[in-house]
Each structure stands twice: as structure tokens, then as C-alpha cells.
Structure 1
Amino acid sequence: MTGHRIGTRGLLDRSKTLSFRFDGKTYQGFQGDTVASALLASGVRIFGRSFKYHRPRGVWGAWFDDPNAIVDIKHGGVHYPNCQATMTQLVDGMEVRSVNAWPTAQKDLKGILDLAQRFMPAGFYYKMFMWPDWHLFEPMIRKMAGIGTLSADVQDDFEAAILHEHCETLVIGGGPAGLTAARAAAKAGKSVLLIDDHPDFGGSSYRYPNDAAEGPSYWVAEQLSAIEDAGGRVLSSTTAIGVYDHQAVSIVTDRGLGTAPVVRKLRPDNVIVATGAVDRPVTFSNNDRPGVMSLDAGAEFLARFGVLVGQQIAILSNRPDAHDVAAQLENAGAKVDLLDPKSDPAKAIGYRNLKGVRVAGHTYPCDTILASAGLTPLVHLWRHAGGKLDWDEGRQTFVPSTGPDWMRVIGGANGTYERSAVEEEARSAALNTSRPERHVYSISPLLPNTKNTEGRQWIDFQHDVTLKDVALAHRENMVSVEHLKRYTTLGMAGDQGKTSNIAGLAAMADLKGQRIPEVGTTTFRPPFVPVPLEAYRGASRDTQVAPLKRLTLEPEHRALGAALGEYGGWLRPAWYGGDDEQSAVASECKIARDAAAIMDGSALGTIEVIGPDARAFVNFVYYNTMSNLKPGRIRYGFMLTESGLVFDDGVIACVDETRFIISCSSSHADAVMAHLENWRQDSFDPDRVHIHDTTQNWSTVTIAGPKARAIVDALGVLDTLDDFAHMTLRFGAFEDVPARVARVSFTGDSSFEVSVPNSAAVRLWQRAIAAGKPHGAGPVGAEALVVLRAEKGYIIVGKDTEGETMPHDLGFGAPRLRKSAAFVGDRSLHTENANREDRKQFVGLSVEDGEPKLPIGAHIVTVQNGERRSLGYVTSSHDSPTLERPIALALVSGGLGAMGQPVEIYHMGKTRRATITPSCAFDTEGARIDA
């Protein structure tokens, strides 16, 4: 006899019967059931098959600690893969199927693999399939890997709600500890948010009830009412999945199948972790048989769902409260044998159906074994926040030690199990008083015995890691816990080692002759439990993942008839005056060369570096030497990756010894900011270097062309423009606000960038347009600017460079030979690859008179043995209005040493001829830039 319902016990609504199918058979449950509780109540024992050997697997735990009962679900025409049966609420009409089994979990033909288990120990695939060639076996192995299947039947018409919230006290866990803490904090006047991952609050209150005559449900309701009356908030079915930098906590509310989850990102002042503890398995022969469950699971299924998991139950446990669980099961009608597994190794009898257990030479008939080698506190969130752990010999587990002062761990998560001690600890945490001493608790060790080699003893149920696998890892010197984890996949299943880690650590400690704390622990990483993919999808897609940035002057551009387009994430004017792009761009190029272009340069990234070590910092992050840049001077330079590749180009201005202003590409501003911040934290004292992105604080009007000086002079920003040389910076004022003026050119003509706070941007733009009109100057958009840059051979990073471009490929080779100070990417510039003669280099291309412009992306080719080989490709190509001929830029293998040589261009089946030229096609002497 297996599981069945008992009377009216549980938190179910028995007036609502739900029908569902599992592996083709119809079953029934009640409102409030999980898939696992409904199947157990119907007598089902085998829920799925293990990953490697396809061994039959039943339920081990009753909630997120269960590694076995993974199922695929279809409901409402939508497929939900790899759901935990113990956590998935039952829905009427759902179709449930076991995973990793064919045709069913009960009769899985792939179960024959278990007969070959001796040939498939941990890591066998690293060795067995190396000969003759791994790639012969890879497709088959990849097809067999993983559990569950993906389907095209997914629901893609909803998204998770992403909310940003704050509270003074976040309490994680709605059991006795969490309820007590939340009530005390709310009554103390704090804004409180209490969350629990179950649909019902109460935690262990139901399976280990207190002495209240009204029962645990009444006590739980009383606490919730008091919390809400005091202004606190409560959220059920809500899980804290991770703790991140700056006290950020991410929580997900799972509202069930067919409904989008809600993601909340909180920054609470204080966090109280009351996540409880889970049972550790007892390691004995055949301990993976269906019907072997945790002690707490047996009590939980009875208390929450009214399911008695067996008629003849054997309890193997070292916990002092095992007698209480035995008494509850006996009161429910089960025959219970409370056995001492410490006296002699145990062995489960039976295969698909558990028939008994042998302990100390005696066989006890049973259909269920409830096992517990002690409780493991759920310290994952504590570790996410940087908290430390200590090994507690009495509790035989790791417990929280020192950690952040804004987080307190209480109750089972702290290794505190006695009810009065739990409530004292909770009130102390809520009121932030001194922490009470952890109450005395001691159990006898019940750890894996590596000298007992009878049968197979499972450590990780889902991934089929046995005690012998741990021993094999030890023999092969995989003795680090991280190596053990990766070599055997122990702790890498869906439960992330919640049930297996302590047993695995204990086995390795026994093999090494060390204590468990000497072996250490693996890394605890978010998310705490598997999270629906919809929670990650959320609203962060399309324009919401990278919102379009808008210029302060956008209304002015629209008033001038600008055609707006996206450039580097900004909505910018492409050209002005009509729908004919070609004519408009040509006209604007002529305006820029003959008079002056008036452009909105506000989209360029503006990042300030401030602090005592600012000069050393900018010298380190730039390829060019910046250590000798004087106040008031500007220098062009490159930022490189660690691989020596061009990351961004732009100019940097020195304001004074402790302040520099970096101007970077508009599309790279966010990436450059992250790049700078990374190196600030990695290689400098963060207290001596500060980085601020001020891009959206200033607006810039750029005036470039032969008449630029006269127009800027009319604006009255500076007292005089005399001796204002190219690549210098001055500060002045525009009307009543501060302004800065930079002599920087992106067109090759005399140019002034006037920057003012956004509040003055419209007035500055209107004054500039008015001052330019008598000189023939006018607004110029991004498309004309691209042509003007190409005429001068000025690169656009990401367009005229590729993923292998280094600065010397662009003709900037001096710093790598002369700069003695260390900088980002310096070593990579001297590798064999960096010094290849056939590297793609930046050059210009010209075509014969009367020929059309070259297609962008066309390949420069050579023919060898009758086959074409690419030497590079065209990166930019334009009809130059200024030169009245086509121009092109390209990356060509060995191009800088091939000036004047003819090359063959191949594109879309057609071949043309061109000549390699210097990249600069206009004003090659640079005479116009200081005009």
C-alpha cells in the first residue's frame, strides 16, 4: 500500500475537485494540491527517471528541495518544460508527462542503461569518447544530454511586470520565525514586507504544530492579521531568488501556469532571512529507490495535503524530533518503525516498489523510508550577500557566521530549531537588538561511510552521482570541492545541491582524512530556485531594453524640417529640408565646406574623470600618452581592450591636474563608462578616482567650416577668440550660464564645440542659426557629417574597424613603440599576431574617372590557383560632393605598404578595379583646420 488521503487533513479546498492526466492516465486532486501531492495521494510512486542511468525516481522532498520529480506540463495549448512537481500547483485539465523516460516513467525502455553502469562512472565521457575523434560522438551525446524537452507551443503574448520597490525591513520566509519577526518589526513602526514562496504562510507550523488549542492555522492567521493591521505587507507565492550589490534583492511572484510572473527589485534597509532548513539524505545502499523520502517530506505531505505517504514506514534519522514525526504518522494510521541507522549500514530492499529495509542484519518490511541525516540551513541568500559560514559540530552542518550588518539570519536558516529560541531570535532581529546565543542542539554524525562499499549509494539523485563516483574523483586527484563538483556534476542538478552538497563534502573529507570544514564549500549563486524564463524576459526588450535617447534640441530640429533617425541609440537629425536624402546631403556638405555646418553634437559621450589619481588613470586607459597633457589642451586617442583591439576613439581634454573630460563615440558612451569603471575598481584606489557620465547634463552646438570663427565670435561666449588654437579648451559664459568651448574638428575644417547646460541649449541653437545665416551657414545632419569625415579619412569605430583592428593598423603605431608606462592592452600589441605583415590596415580606395562608387562590403580579392581569396573589404563609400568623385575607405591586408597599387574588387558576382590610396582624400596638408 502506498500514499492515500487521510480524512479532512491539510490546507485543501476539497469542494473543488481537479482532474488531470499523468503519462496518459487520468487522476484527480483538490484545489490547493501540487502535482506531486495529488499523484502521491493516488498511489503513484515513480515520477521520472534519473539523468544518466534512467533509474526510477520518486519524490524525495515536498518543496524546492526535491531533485527527482521533474515533469513537463501542457495546459491551454502551452508547453511548460521541466516543472518541479512538488512546487507546481495543480490546475484542472493539465496534461503532465514524466521527463527523461520513454514511453513512461513506469516503463522506461532506456532503463536498460542501468545495466551498463559499471562502464559509465563519473567523467567517463571525458575519456571514453576521445578516440578516435570526439566529434564523432558529440551529436549523440548532446542529444542525450539534459532532461525534458522544449516545444514551439509556448506562450509569448505576456511579459513579467518589473517593479522597483523599497521597504525598511524585508522578511524572507513566512514560517514561525518570519511571521514573528515581521509582526515585531511592523509593530515597531517599520515598513515591512513579508514574503513566502508557498501559496499559504506558516512554513513548518503545520508539520510541527505548537501547543495552541486552536491549531497552527489560527496562529498563522493571527500573525498575518497583526502584521497587516500594523501597516505591513505580505506576499505569498513569492521567492527571493538572489541578493546583489548595494543591498539589492530580487524577488519573483509566480502566479501559476498561464499567468506572467511579477519581478520586484528591492533595496531594503534591512533583510531578515528566515528561509528555514532542509533534510539531508542518509547515504545507504539503494537509497534512491522510489519510496525513500525525507523525514520532513513525510510530515509536510500529511500536514499540508492530508497525504499519508505510506502504510508501513521505516524512519532512519539522527534527529531528536524524529519521535514526534513518528507519532504523527502513527496517529494517521501508519505502522512506523523508528530505526537507528548509526549502528550498522542500511540497505533498501526492492526495485520499483520498496519492500523493506535491512538494518543491523534485520529486515523490516516497509513501503516507505523516511530518512534524515540532520538539517541543512538554507544559507544561500546569506552567502549571496557575502556572509561567511562556520561548521557547527553539534548540528553537523554549516551555519551563518560573520556577514553584512544589514542582514540577519534567524530560525532554521540559522540552525535554530527550538520554537521558543526561534521566536526570541526573530524578535531580536526585528528590533535590531543584540543577537541571542544560538541554542544548544546536538545530533550524532550520520555521514557517508566510504569504507562501506555494499551496493550503490546515491549522493546526488538527479545526476546519478554515487559514493563510488566521489571515491573515483579522489583517486584521480579531483579533491578540490570545485573540481569534485565539475568532474562528477555533484550539486549541479536543478536543486543546486540543496540535498547533496553536505553528503558530497563529507565523503570527500572522509577520503582525505580531513574534517568537513577543511574541505570547504562550493559557491552559492543566484537564482535560489529555477525561475520561469518570463521573469527574465519581462519588459526589457525592443526599445525598452535600450530606450531611445532624445536630444534636448529635438523640437528645434523638427521645426527645421529634419528627417530624424537612430544613430548610436540617439534620435538625431539625419538631414534637413525634404525627402530627397541625396540632394539634401550634397547641399549640406557644400554648406559645411563653403561656409559652416551648425550641428547638434550633444549625443557625443561626455565623461568626467576627477580625483588625485585622475592623470595616472587616463594615461593607463588610453593607448596614447596622456600623462603630459597640459591644462587647457586636448588630445585625440584610442581606448583598447586587453587584447589590444580598438575599443573606442575620441578626444580628451585636461581641465586641471585632477579633472579630465573624455569625449567618446555616441554609440559607445555606456560601454566606455563600464570599461572605465571596471579599470577604476580593478587597478586604482576608488577613493582617488571618480568617474561621472555627464552626457545628458550638457548640450553641444558644433560650428565647423571656414566661417565658424566669425559665427562663434558673434555668440559672445568668449571675450576673444585670438590665439585659440586647434585642440585647446576654454571656459566662458553664454548669457547667464557657464559654457565651455573646445577646438575639435570631425570635418577637417576649423571647428568649435560650444557646450552649455541643457536649460540654455535652445537659446544657443537659435542664436547660432541666426548668426550663421548671413554667412551662408546652416544646420547639417548626421548623414552629411559621415561624408565629411570620410573625405578626411577619419574613422568611425565599428564601421571602419573590425574585431581584429589594432591602432597601428590605422596608422597610429608610435605609442606602442614609445610609451613606456603600462596601459590597457599594451602587451597584446607586441604578440606575433599583432606584428603580422598581412594584417588588415586602413586605407583609401579610388576608382577611375566616370566609374560609380564602390559598394560597401565589397571584397578586395586576389586570385590564387584559380580561386579568389579576400584581402579585405570596403568599410565606407560615398559620392563626395566636395571632390565631385567617389571616395572609399577599406581594410586591406598589408594596405599601408601598397599605396598606388591597383586591386581587384569583387561584389555580388561582379569584378571592378580600384587603386589603394591614403585614407585622407581632402585637404591632405590640413591647412583648413586652423583657418
Structure 2
Amino acid sequence: MSPRRSSAGGLIDRTRTIRFTFDGESLTGHAGDTLAAALLANGISLMGRSFKYHRPRGVYSAGIDEPNALVTLLREGVREPNIPATRTEIYDGLRAESQNRFPSLAWDVGAINQLGGKLLGAGFYYKTFMGPVIGPLKGTRFWMMCEHFIRRAAGLGRADFEADPSRYEQVNAYCDVLVVGGGIAGLMAAEAAAKAGKRVILAEQEPHTGGFARWSGETIDEIPAHDWANALTRRLAELDNVRVLTRTAVWGYYDGNTLAALERVNDHLARTPKNHPRQRHWTIRAGDVVLATGALERPIVFPGNDRPGIMLAGAARRYAKEFGVLPGSKTLFFTNNDSAYQAAAIVKRAGGHVAAIVDVRARISDTASALAIEAGVEPITGHAVVGTKGGKALSGAIVQAFDAATGKLSGEARPLECDSLAVSGGWQPVLHLASQAGAKPVWDDVTQAFLPPQPTQRWMGAGAFTGRFGTAEALVTGRDAGLKCAEKRPSRARLPDIAPDAPDLTPAPVLEIRGKGKAFVDFQHDVTADDVRLAHREGFVSVEHLKRYTTLGMATDQGKTSNVPGLAIMAAARGITIPEAGTTRFRPPYSPVAIGALAAERYGDLKPERYTPMHEWHVEHGAEMTPAGLWHRPLVYAAPGETVEQAYIREAAAVRRSVGIVDVSTLGKIAVKGPDAATFLDRVYTNTFSTLKVGKARYGLMLREDGIAFDDGTTWRLGETDFLMTTTTANAGAVMQHLEYCLDILWPDLKVHLTSVTDQWAGAAIAGPKARAVLERCVTGAKVDNETLPFMGIVHGQVEGAPVMICRLSFSGELAYEVYCGAGHGMHVWEALMEAGARFEITPYGMEALGALRIEKGHVTGAEIDGRTTARDLYLDWMLSKKKPFIGSGLMDRPALIEKNRLRLVGVISLDGQKLGGGAHLVERGSPDEPGESIGHVTAYCYSPALQKYIGLALVRGGKARHGTRAYLSDPLRKRFGQVEIVSHHFFDPDGERMHG
């Protein structure tokens, strides 16, 4: 039997033994244990070291609110730090390590920080390391001397440098009602909504539904509450319109009743099954939301309140009831409300020994007195714990008479022997999601807690979230009469025969006992009560400033345990009430979310691949594919032994010499139709499209409303009221959203219809001196000679019987054509073009060669249209119409946007024959170690087969005025420093003779 495991009871499976390691020590637990429960069962109370002082810390809670017992898990060869041991389900082979200690958890040299005392108080970074250094190093900043050591000491867990092998998945879901929280209240709300015919999703962050009922000790109709909850869960599982998601934490509430959730699909297994996600990210759009998120227990702040062995009373109750683990061999309870008496009684029933119950209140309820008798103790009322004893484990507590009305201590302090201390300072509803939804919590003097605000979105509260604590009651409160959920009007659904003798959980308004020694408010960041008062003395009295100056309630804690005690101390320091001090606004995420989960489906074969119709051809012919926006496009078609650079140089040279073909199906394509289509385009483009003739195309530029360049592309006039707009691949969605906004908000009177037709068209661009010859061999039904198909002209014909639309336009500086056909004909047309070009040695080319060709010609793309440049910066001011207004025209002439010294487009040539680098800075003079002031940066570069040099485009202060001058390229990240010449960005065929020939 484990040292602290009760002989019977709990909801774990005692028939299954699980083997795991903690800091290399082999241990065992049972199926259903969390890591924290299993460690306690093995007699381990020291589980970590604190952030700043490296004080020994043990588990403090039993759930998501754990501030101390954060561990690193070694899973599938990768380290994952800062995982609460209270949320980690053990499995065979689990390997966990403690954090923030060296060389070991038991003996940590960082504990010397405790000798720093007040020197390491709130804001010590700002006040200490920003001062000047005196002595031999006078003139330097102290921070420059200390930065290396400070950064090494910062943080808790250590991140891994290895790639994460796990797979993640993303799901979009829609429902009529989302219920957040699977306790009794949430289960009842879900059942009521489902019976009303609603589509329901219920999300519960724990592995099981039932919540507080699983370990409360309550009964419903003489049935244990957890059994009652299990039966209700089974009923929900039988309903087709209900989806129950366990191990799923809803972490963000956004506009339009959109919520974000993270499902830990396989975190409880030793290895994720093949082709299965480890975690799944949910984006849920709900008609109505029921917040049944429950309440979290608060601590009481007193000297020495952070020793291993001290935990919340609710945690002690849960460990005893759910896991069959005793908090210690002799447990002392310290409280300001009745809930600790319930916990003491349950610990006693589990076989534990209750040393005493210390209550700050002078009088207690009859229910509390009865529970104390059951626990086998006489309550010590009108007293408080004023200190603790022990080192790496608790060995005793010190109590003293206390007047809750005045907050004063009196009489002699006396010691009490104990090895665990369970504390309860009352309960606080979990309002994080309600706060994120856009409303401010409301203080309630009766419960001494912040309660839910008036909803600003379609949500309602249920259960303990509403401020009704201590019973299995499932009260559903609709604070907005317009809300509809399970019934036509907000419901008050109650369980039958709730225990009439439920204890009074109204706490005494006592959250701090002042005395000698450090009293911690935020355990995770080592923020003490004195730190809060120091912040007050230094002028940081706003709760938001308090949070940032002291780090109170940051990181994984997010104020779950520390928020209300910290606010109470600040309010007392200011001589105001807690509601007058206010509370911080909670921000997502409620609990930590892995970056891999946010990226979700964009990993491995779980990514929803978007292929062009010619994708298989590219792969079969040796293309190296690369992501481009949401698409996959060929990077290069490398021959055996070729590098990427060698391949794109060969491909680009082939285009210049004869002819090449590239897949442009991914370009954004938007059908703009309607009587006012031309007027609409005149307004969104800087140049005029109403004068464009049918059968012609025109290059266009869009600006944002602030005058900054947004996107460029060509638009083709297919009929009087029928236009086809093309956009860059990556910006297709953004342009579509922009156009829809303009129609819906700015000009709803215009008769225009927009349709994204990107997927309906396959496209191939043919470029090079022999491009026309290729088309002449395979196009029927239309001529492609210079007279019939001039530059920017459009014809319709067929290729091998497939209808095609051909536009003569070029972004390479060569004679070029874009051939569009229906997506279903894409492969057929592509192969026909390849066959027709075979005699000219037609060469397929990828994005790298495409980029090299456009850099040689000086065309801009997203690298130059980067959200900071204007049309003038890019020398596209010839496209700014002086005859009409357009989006951005009102703000494009602001002084800062037309000053001569702005960064403007130029070309650069490497003079030392070495590569340039995207993002590298250009400087007028200097050295590799001291490069001097930047005058601009490189936006794109390549090796030019036409010039046989490394060239690039850059944005440089002064632009054209610097043509013919020299500068230095400074790229310290790539350890590159070399001379370049600044020239025109039109490297190749500046007059367009080849393009118009």
C-alpha cells in the first residue's frame, strides 16, 4: 500500500497498476490517477521550485488552477514543459521531471535567492538593472552586464529544440447550444436543450463529466451525486443531437458567439496512434452558450502559506474522495467558510486524521458543527493560522486568536502539529469566458466574490458560475430575456431533493492574515502581499498596472487563485472596497494552448491539401512542391543532382532562350458582374476600368483606405457587365473580403455580384520568344498573331477540343500568354501545351524561376507590397488616376507618405559575387562588427541568368536618387557583409521590346 493511499474508496481502478517515473525515480499509481495524485500517494510532497525565490513547493490544487506543481513531460522524444501535474493522467511509461531547479529538486542552488529578501521585490528588474555602472566599467548599463545571467535564470520549464512529432487537427463546428462545463448544471442544461430539439455540444475539460459531484460527497435522491451524473451522461450519449467532448477546455470566447476549445485527444496515452491527432483544436460557432464553468476555491494569505503540504481544502477533499489519497497523516484545516468542514469530514471518512479545524469566524453554522463532530474535532473558532513550520515539507502550524471584524490578532500564539494544511478562503465563479465575451464582472458582498456580468453576447450562466455554491443544484439563469436555450424562456432547472442541510458557504471577508514572514498571493510568480503594498506605495494602484508591475495573475495561472486576494490587499492599501478597486479583464487563453494546436491541420497528412488540376503531373515529373498560401505549387523541377538554385537558373534561362510553362491556377480569381461592375472597379482600383474595352485586360493596383498599397493584379473585361479579376495567390481571400466589405458597407446601392471562381479555372502561363509558336501549334478557333491578340488582349478558342480563354500578358518581361480553361480540362490542356512545345524544348518552371524572372523585370509582389509601401514608393504612381476618387485617394497624399526620403524601390547588384539575402539591411558605410545606420533592406533576391550576377530588389531611402551609388549589405544573422551597387529595379528589357514583340 502506498504511504498515503486510503485502504478503500475513490473512483480509481485499483486493479490496474501504472508504472511511471518522476525525476528518474520509478513509481506506481492506479488507472484514473493524475500525476499529482500518484505522487501524493507515494508520499512525495515536494514537486517543484518557485519562479523567483526557488522556494520548495508542493501541489496546491487538484485541477486546472494549479500554480505550483508544473512539470516537464518527456513524450515521444520531445520535452513539453509547464504541464500541471494535476491535469496529467498517468500511463505506463510516463516520464516526468520537476522544473526550475539545479542540480536537483531536493538541493537547488537557486534557493540562495531567498537571501535577497526585499531586493528581489516587485519591480526589482526595472529599478536594479537599468541603473548605470560605477567604477572601472562606468558608462555602461548594469543590465548589459546582467542580461546573460538573467535570461538564463528566467522562465520555469526548458523548451526543446527538437521538432514536435505530434500531429494536430482542427475542426470547425456549429451548434444551437454550446454548454461549457460538464458538471451537474452543465449536464442538465444540455439535456434540456437536447429535448427541445437543439443541436448541443457539451465540453468538459476533465476526463469525466460530473464535475464537483464526482468528489463532493453529496447525494441526490439518496444516490451518490457522481453516479447520478454518470447516468445523465449515458442518457446524453444516446441522443443523436448531442456531442459530449471530454478532455476539452474551452479557452477563448470571441465575437459572434465564436468559441475556441482544445481537445486533448491522446495526451493520456503513452503514444498517439498512427494517423491520429494528439490534440484537436475546435472553433465552435454557437447560437447560444451556457456557461457552467463552476467555481474555484480561493486561498487565504498568511505568512508561510506556500510550504509543501499546504493545499486548498477542496483539493484535499478531491484527492480523498476521487483518488483515495490522503493529503497527509495529520491534516489541519484553516477556513473562513463552511466548505472546509465538508472536506474535513470526507478526509476523515477516507481514513485520514484531522488535527483541527481553525476558523476565523467566531460563530459557525449548525451544519458546520455537525461536520466537525463527524471529523472528530472541536473547531478552534475566532483564530487564524499566522505561520507555519518546516523546510521542504510542512511540520506544523502556528495559530493565534483573531478578530475577523478588525483583522487584529491577540493573545499568545501556539503551535499545532500537522504535516498537511488545507485552506479555504471562499469560492470564486470562473468568469474568464464571460469576461472575454466583453463584459465586466460584478462584485457581490454576500458571497464575497465577483459574479457574472450582464451578457453582451448570447450566453447564460448555470450552477456555481452564477454564484450559488455548495450543492448539486443546476440553476440556469438567463440574464437577457432575449436569450433562448433549452426552452422558450430561460429556465430554472433544479435537481430533485437537494440536500436541505447544505452548509452555508458565505465566507467571512477575510483573505489575509498579516504577520511576520513572506505571505504569498501568487504562488507561481512569488508575488507576496508586501509586493502588492509596495506597488501601491510606488503608484501602481490600477489593477491592470498592479498585474503588470508585480506579474500577479500572469502566465498559466491567469488569476485563478491569486486574483481576488491580490485585489483585496490593494483595496485595503488604498482604503477602498474591492469593487471600487475593480478587477482585471481576463484574456484568452483560459488555459495554455500549444502553438502546434493553433496551427492544427497544417501538419503532415492531416493538412487539407489544396492541389491544382495539374498537381499529379508536377509530382510525376520531379517537381519539389512547396506551400503557397493554401495551395501546393512546384518550387523547381530539379534534375538528378541539381540543387534548387541550379534548377531555377536552368529553368529561367530556358524561358529567356526559348519557352517555358508555369502553373498559375492558384492565382485568385473573382467574377465581378452587374450593371455597376465597371463603376465598382473604378472605386476599388487606383486606375480606371470603366474605359476598358471588352476583350481587353488591364493591370490594376488597389490601396487600403489609409493610402497604403494593398494588392495588384489584372482584370479582364469579358462583357459589358462581366469582369474577371485576378489577385495574388496569398491575398485572394483578403481581396475578396475587402470587396465584399465595400459592397456591403460602403456602397450597398451598387448592383454588383461577386463570386470567387479561383477553383473553377485552371491556368497555365507560357512565356518566352517561342510562346506564340507553341500556341499556334495547338490553339484552334482563334488566332494568336500580334494583330489579333495584341498585348493585354483576350481571345477564346480551343486546345485539343477543350474551350480556353487566352490573355496576352507578362510578368516575366517575355512574350507571354495566360491560358485558362475549366478546372476539369486542366490536365488535358497542360499536356497538349507541353506536346505542342516539345519541338521548342518547352521547359516547365516553378516558383523559384518565376521569382527570378520577375525580379529581373522589376515586378513587385507581396515582398514589396508589405503593408507599409505606397504606390509612389513602388514607382507605380502612374497608375494613380487624377480624374476620379478611389479607395485610399483621400489619405495617400499625407505628408509622411510623400516625403522624398521614404524607402523606395530600387535594384541592387552584388559586387562580390556572393548571395544577397531577403531582409538584409543596406548601409552606406561601416564594417561587419559596426555596420552603421540602415538606409533600407533587401525584399527579394536571386541569381540572374540574364545578367549572370546575384541581384535583388530593395526598398532604400531616397530611391532613384541613389541609382549608380554603392552601399554595403549587412546581414549579421547570415554572417554576410559585402558591397552592392544600387541601380534601377528594371534589370531586364526595361523598354518592354521583348514583351511587346
- TM class, shorter-length: 0.7 to 0.9
> 2:158 matched to 1:149?
yes
Indicate which of 547, 557, 573 corresponds to 1:485.
547
Q: CA deviation at 1:22?
A: 5.1
In the alignment, is the contact (CA less than 8 A) between 1:241 and 1:252 conserved in 2?
A: no
Q: CA deviation at 1:69?
A: 1.8
Indicate which of 659, 663, 686 corresponds to 2:726.
663
Indicate which of 308, 312, 329 corresponds to 1:294.
312
| Structural mapping, 1:767-778, within 5 Å | none
| Structural mapping, 1:783-822, within 5 Å | 786=850, 793-795=857-859, 797=861, 808=872, 810-812=874-876
Q: CA deviation at 1:747?
A: 5.0
Specify the SS of the correspondent of 2:51. Answer: coil
Q: CA deviation at 1:690?
A: 8.9
Q: CA deviation at 1:392?
A: 3.0
TM norm structure 1:
0.78
> 2:784 matched to 1:745?
no
- 343-352 vs 369-378, greater mean Cα deviation: 343-352
CA gap 1:733/1:54 in 2 versus in 1, 3 angstroms: same
CA distance in 2, matches of 1:865, 1:78: 43
Q: Which residue of 2 aligns with 1:81?
A: 81
CA gap 1:891/1:806 in 2 versus in 1, 3 angstroms: farther
CA distance in 2, matches of 1:466, 1:438: 42
Q: Which residue of 2 aligns with 1:356?
A: 398
CA distance in 2, matches of 1:203, 1:678: 45
Letter in 2 for 1:823: G
Q: Which residue of 2 aligns with 1:370?
A: 422
CA distance in 1, matches of 2:93, 2:852: 66
Q: CA deviation at 1:210?
A: 1.4
> 2:473 matched to 1:473?
no
TM norm structure 2:
0.74
| Structural mapping, 1:406-555, within 5 Å | 407-417=459-469, 419=471, 421-422=473-474, 431-436=486-491, 443-444=506-507, 446-448=509-511, 455-531=517-593, 535=597, 540-541=602-603, 547=609, 549-553=610-614
| Structural mapping, 1:839-878, within 5 Å | 841-843=905-907, 857=916, 875-878=941-944
In the alignment, is the contact (CA less than 8 A) between 2:168 and 2:601 conserved in 1?
A: yes
Q: Which residue of 1 aligns with 2:137?
A: none
CA distance in 2, matches of 1:77, 1:515: 51
Q: CA deviation at 1:585?
A: 6.4
Indicate which of 135, 148, 153 corresponds to 1:139.
148
Specify the SS of the correspondent of 1:422. Answer: coil
CA distance in 2, matches of 1:657, 1:394: 71
In the alignment, is the contact (CA less than 8 A) between 1:708 and 1:752 conserved in 2?
A: no
Specify the SS of the correspondent of 1:685. Answer: helix
1:120-171 C-alpha deviation (Å, 9 max, x unpaired):
111111110112311211111111111233467x795543455555665544
CA distance in 2, matches of 1:466, 1:905: 51
CA gap 1:738/1:423 in 2 versus in 1, 3 angstroms: farther
CA gap 1:627/1:918 in 2 versus in 1, 3 angstroms: closer
1:30-69 C-alpha deviation (Å, 9 max, x unpaired):
3333332234345444332221122332332111122112
CA distance in 2, matches of 1:399, 1:499: 16
Specify the SS of the correspondent of 1:36. Answer: helix
Specify the SS of the correspondent of 2:127. Answer: helix
Q: CA deviation at 1:745?
A: 3.4
Query: Runs of 5+ in structure 1 lacking a partner?
Result: 848-852
| Structural mapping, 1:327-366, within 5 Å | 327-331=345-349, 332=351, 333-341=353-361, 346-352=385-391, 353=394, 354-360=396-402, 361=410, 363=413, 365-366=416-417
1:529-577 C-alpha deviation (Å, 9 max, x unpaired):
2346764576533686694x53325578899x89786594543597899
Q: Which residue of 2 aligns with 1:919?
A: 986
CA gap 1:257/1:529 in 2 versus in 1, 3 angstroms: farther
In the alignment, is the contact (CA less than 8 A) between 2:906 and 2:984 conserved in 1?
A: no
Q: CA deviation at 1:330?
A: 4.7
Q: Which residue of 2 aligns with 1:602?
A: 665
Q: CA deviation at 1:816?
A: 8.6
> 2:29 matched to 1:12?
no
Q: CA RMSD in A?
A: 5.6
Q: Which residue of 2 aligns with 1:265?
A: 282
Query: Runs of 5+ in structure 2 lacking a partner?
Result: 133-140, 273-277, 363-381, 403-409, 495-501
| Structural mapping, 1:300-319, within 5 Å | 300-310=318-328, 313-319=331-337
| Structural mapping, 1:512-911, within 5 Å | 512-531=574-593, 535=597, 540-541=602-603, 547=609, 549-553=610-614, 568=628, 570-571=632-633, 589=656, 601-607=664-670, 624-625=686-687, 635-638=698-701, 649-652=712-715, 662-665=725-728, 669-671=729-731, 673-674=733-734, 677=737, 685=745, 688=748, 693-700=756-763, 715-716=780-781, 726-727=791-792, 742=807, 744-746=809-811, 753=818, 755-759=820-824, 761=826, 781-782=844-845, 786=850, 793-795=857-859, 797=861, 808=872, 810-812=874-876, 823=888, 831=896, 835-836=900-901, 841-843=905-907, 857=916, 875-880=941-946, 890-891=952-953, 896-897=960-961
CA gap 1:679/1:478 in 2 versus in 1, 3 angstroms: farther
Letter in 1 for 2:612: L
CA gap 1:699/1:482 in 2 versus in 1, 3 angstroms: same
Q: Which residue of 1 aligns with 2:375?
A: none
Letter in 2 for 1:262: Q
Letter in 2 for 1:324: Q
Q: CA deviation at 1:229?
A: 3.5
Q: CA deviation at 1:721?
A: 11
Letter in 1 for 2:354: A
Specify the SS of the correspondent of 2:342. Answer: helix
Indicate which of 226, 236, 255 corresponds to 2:267.
255
- 811-820 vs 82-91, greater mean Cα deviation: 811-820
- 465-474 vs 890-899, greater mean Cα deviation: 890-899
1:490-540 C-alpha deviation (Å, 9 max, x unpaired):
111422211111222333334445544444433433433234676457653
In the alignment, is the contact (CA less than 8 A) between 1:700 and 1:753 conserved in 2?
A: yes
Specify the SS of the correspondent of 2:68. Answer: coil
1:293-315 C-alpha deviation (Å, 9 max, x unpaired):
22211221221122332465554
Specify the SS of the correspondent of 2:900. Answer: coil
CA gap 1:172/1:449 in 2 versus in 1, 3 angstroms: closer
Specify the SS of the correspondent of 2:250. Answer: strand
CA distance in 2, matches of 1:325, 1:768: 79
Specify the SS of the correspondent of 2:304. Answer: coil
In the alignment, is the contact (CA less than 8 A) between 2:67 and 2:524 conserved in 1?
A: yes
Q: CA deviation at 1:609?
A: 7.0
Specify the SS of the correspondent of 2:730. Answer: helix
In the alignment, is the contact (CA less than 8 A) between 1:162 and 1:263 conserved in 2?
A: yes
The alignment-based identity, stated in percent, is 29
CA gap 1:187/1:74 in 2 versus in 1, 3 angstroms: same
Q: Which residue of 2 aligns with 1:850?
A: none
In the alignment, is the contact (CA less than 8 A) between 1:172 and 1:275 conserved in 2?
A: yes
In the alignment, is the contact (CA less than 8 A) between 2:358 and 2:384 conserved in 1?
A: no
CA distance in 2, matches of 1:101, 1:621: 59
- 317-326 vs 174-183, greater mean Cα deviation: 317-326
Specify the SS of the correspondent of 1:4. Answer: coil
1:262-312 C-alpha deviation (Å, 9 max, x unpaired):
315253645433221110112333333334322211221221122332465
Q: CA deviation at 1:740?
A: 6.5
> 2:249 matched to 1:239?
yes
- 259-268 vs 583-592, greater mean Cα deviation: 583-592
Q: CA deviation at 1:749?
A: 6.5
CA distance in 2, matches of 1:172, 1:166: 14
> 2:336 matched to 1:281?
no
Letter in 1 for 2:323: F
CA distance in 2, matches of 1:611, 1:444: 67
Specify the SS of the correspondent of 1:431. Answer: coil
In the alignment, is the contact (CA less than 8 A) between 2:94 and 2:270 conserved in 1?
A: no
Q: CA deviation at 1:7?
A: 3.5
Q: CA deviation at 1:349?
A: 3.3
Q: CA deviation at 1:204?
A: 1.4
